[in-house]
Amino acid sequence: MKQAITGAKIFSDNEFFEHKALLIDDEKIIGIINQDSIEDSFKIKKLNGGILSPGFIDLQVNGGGGKLFNNSPDKESLDEIIKAHQHFGTTSIMPTVISDSLNVLKRCTSTISNEINNNKSLLGIHIEGPFFNVKYRGVHQKQYINTINNDYLNLFEGLQGFPVMLTLAPECISIKQLKHLKSLGFKILAGHTDASYDQLEEAIKYGLDGFTHLFNAMGQISAREPGVVGSALNFDSTAASIIVDLHHVHPSLIEMSYNQKPKGKLFFVSDSMATINHGEPSFELYDEVVRELDGRLINSEGKLAGSSITQIDAIKNAYCSCNIPLNDAISMATNYPAQYLGVGNYLGSLKSGYRADLAHFDIDFNIQNVWVAGKHLKQEAP
């Protein structure tokens, strides 16, 4: 079906377009035209103001809808997680499995392999751990922190046909292992790490291309050692994700990172947990209860355990609290993560031939409408 969407400011490629219409044919975008040039063959949907942007992309999603991927790595839970995030305009996700037993990791990767062609909002898998520095394990349980062995390598070699992100501590693997992981096509990110500047510089030569949740669970800046944070900000060729819930990172540091990293190299992730679009303010992780308190998810040790935001919250927080221009804030949840993952040729922008994944939100950053592959999922409130 041919559709023409009008009535909202259209955002694409870091620009806003007014008095325009977005044309869609079935699952694909045709283009952006003047709203008075719509042909009669198009069914017109008129929106009530606000902004129409590409659907949001989140490369670190632990859960949603009351489900945590680690706890129930099956199709039913995966569907619930995806639906929970679609409700808030996030139309593409990388379900994330955190450090756990090899059996849980196998079940998670098997589910993704089986479902990758059945759900358009599923991009691949983000494997966060278990190859970490125990010093910066965060909420990841010590018993699951491990080193790479043949069991893991055999599992990884079977992950073909979809994007894989692997967050690890570069100081805990060899360069030979890093080169092998890169040869599999993985995106390799440094996280939960105390690597030195020199170690990171060496790792970047052989495939490290990103940093996971900048500032959190990593070595900090000191006078004589840039640490992981300083290195991430210094190496222009690498990307970095950042959690903008205003609890994980101070707003001034989010703004500083935005100003320091080259355009397109800093993007938002939610690191969201089971509480997304779910009434219960608590859930179980590693057989202990994690509770939401004043917007923060905290475990029994008082450590932050992921977040309870989605990408629309990150956009709002970045714009309202971190002095990041709205066009860049939206791009940090759409085009920039798409480019990093290598799916920017069909997602993250409203270009001709791209998939019609769309998010429509009002001036208060409330999601009004969502489309996935041209299918309208959410109706604006009356």
Catalytic residues: 271
CB-based contact 96:69 (threshold 8 Å): yes
Q: Which residues of 206-238 are buried (b: 16+ CB within 10 A; e: fewer)?
A: bbbbbbbbbbbbbbeeeeeebbbbbbbbebeeb
From residue 330, how far is each of 46, 63, 145, 180, 259 by CA, in Å?
22, 22, 35, 35, 16
Select from 186, 102, 112 the least CA-distant residue to 152: 102
Q: How is residue 234 written in tokens?
A: 């210094």
Query: What single-letter DSSP state applies at residue 160?
Result: -
Classify strands 15-17 and 9-12 as parallel, antiparallel or unpaired. antiparallel
Select from 380, 359, 364 the least CA-distant residue to 90: 359
> CA–CA separation, 199 vs 188, rounded Å?
14
> CA–CA separation, 308 vs 282, rounded Å?
10
Burial zone of 120 (CB within 10 Å; 0-12 exposed, 13-18 middle, 19+ buried):
middle
Q: What residue ranges in 170-300 does DSSP mark as E strands?
A: 187-190, 208-211, 239-242, 266-268, 282-285, 288-293, 296-298
